[in-house]
Amino acid sequence: MEFTEEFVQFINNNPLYTTIGIRIEKAVDGEARSSLDPNPNVCWPFPGQPHGGVLFTLMDATMAVAVFSSLEVGQNCATIHADIQYTLPAKGDHFSCAARITHETGRLTFVRGEIHDGENRIVALGQAAFRVIRSDAMEPS
């Protein structure tokens, strides 16, 4: 799937991303980049620190977009498992996430991702496996 600017904009307007503060920046050939400017509502229990679930959501979403960028029209993906490590307290109002496919078998796609804070320190590392499914869910009408 090609991620045209129009398609990226379509995705970035979804209610989940806008509620949290996620933006996809780029997705091509199995690699994706995104950013998180966390809504204060999702910075709890530590003010100014996005919840670990918010970082996970950023990573899972970015991984899924990386997978999606290598799929055919009419295919989608679903996470089988994801393992995330938290290396540092995530402080600040801007984070970036990068994800890339490490291996594809046709039915399964393996991905790695990492999240950096605004000072380029790693705050989270992940690896996940996705299965490829038939679906039209993320496509614009």
Residues forming the site for its own copies (CB under 8 A)? 14-17, 19, 39-46, 51-54, 56-58, 60-61, 76, 78-89, 102-103, 105, 107-108, 110, 112, 122, 125-127, 129, 131, 137-138
Give 100's DSSP letter: E
CB of 99 to its own copies, least distance (A): 13
Within the chain, strands assigned E span 22-28, 31-36, 75-86, 95-104, 108-117, 122-134
Closer CB to its own copies, 57 or 96, in the complex: 57
Closest Cα to residue 64, out of 104, 31, 23, 18?
Answer: 31
CB of 28 to its own copies, least distance (A): 19
Task: Report d(CA 47, CA 11) in Å as an integer.
Answer: 28
Closer CB to its own copies, 33 or 63, in the complex: 63
